[in-house]
Structure 1
Amino acid sequence: MRKSLSSTSTRTFLLWPLVVGVEQAVSRRRVGVAGLPLMAAGYAAYRLAGAYRLPRAGGPPGMSQGMPERLVEDGPYRWTRNPMYAGHLLFLSGLALSTRSPLATGLLGWHVRWFADRVRRDEQRLHERFGAAYDEYRARTPRWIPGPRTGSRSAEQ
């Protein structure tokens, strides 16, 4: 994870929890534990998928920094095309659930839209880079919700 506010992961896993924590303290609302497993699972998904992808795909650590050299279709990428992005959203869901904060809920909603837009741009770039191989991967692997590869999945999932 890059330690810069321009880094999506820094904002998701460090800045937003800090900001929401301050909001909770100022408003004197208690933080619950209900969302902590989601936060842990989201962070783990992000880290593990990234650690899996980087040595196999080559290229820079993230799509915002450049293109991978190879398409990764196995490991966590066998079950969903975006396990790292899904990890961000799972973490933010846990933050909203634990805090019941309007700010955390708003951040989650904003990020759902932001990641959806980012995925559409990434998919176009991956199609341009890998052509039919990416199209075949996309056809059999869901975009967000992990599940078995079937070959008949909608690319919009």
Structure 2
Amino acid sequence: MKRAGAITAVAGGGLTAAGMSRFTPKQVAGAELDRLVDSGVYRVTRNPQYTGYTLSLAGLAVARGSGVAALLGAGVVACFRYWISLEESYLDDKLGETYREYRRRTHRWLGPPK
């Protein structure tokens, strides 16, 4: 079980890094929006950083066998869900139909293209 948790945590870190690597620091911070990125890991999740963080937190909780870590991770996920809804609204306003089409074909968290 510890090994599976550690592998999940590392995979989550890789997903986070893959998502962030597509952007400049200003874009990651949300200070610059010039285009929709829908290739690479963004084909299977609209939120690779949040998905990766979530996988890492879950993996660490499993690897450590910690209920407290699992509860903290669940709280972080709740915050992510709220934040993602704000980001989606912002991107819908800025990118319009291009973003709405992307939302229709790509999962919020993780999954094969629809």
TM normalised by structure 1 equals 0.67
Q: Give the root-mean-square deviation of aligned CA atoms.
A: 1.6
- Give 1 or 2 for the bigger CA radius of gyration: 1
Which residue of structure 2 aligns with residue 49 of structure 1?
19
Separation in 2, partners of 1:135, 1:79: 16
Which residue of structure 2 aligns with residue 87 of structure 1?
52
* Aligned counterparts, 1:81-120, within 5 A: 81-120=46-85
**Alignment partner for residue 9 of structure 2, among 39, 59, 64?**
39
Of Structure 1 and Structure 2, which has the larger fraction of its residues in helix? 2
Which residue of structure 1 aligns with residue 108 of structure 2?
143
- Number of residues paired by the alignment? 113
Deviations 1:72-126 (A, max 9, x none): 0111111111111100000001011011212211111101101111110000000
After TM superposition, give the deviation of residue 59 of structure 1 in Å.
Answer: 4.3
- Contact 1:78–1:141 (8 Å) recurs in 2: yes
5+ long unaligned stretches in structure 1: 1-31, 151-157
Runs of 4+ in 1 over 6 A off after TM superposition: none
**Alignment partner for residue 127 of structure 1, among 92, 106, 111?**
92
Separation in 2, partners of 1:95, 1:73: 29
* Aligned counterparts, 1:5-20, within 5 A: none
The residue identity in structure 2 corresponding to 1:116 is R
Separation in 1, partners of 2:81, 2:38: 20
Separation in 1, partners of 2:108, 2:28: 20
5+ long unaligned stretches in structure 2: none
- Contact 1:59–1:69 (8 Å) recurs in 2: no
Which residue of structure 2 aligns with residue 70 of structure 1?
35
After TM superposition, give the deviation of residue 67 of structure 1 in Å.
Answer: 4.1
Deviations 1:38-65 (A, max 9, x none): 11000011011111x205xx843233xx
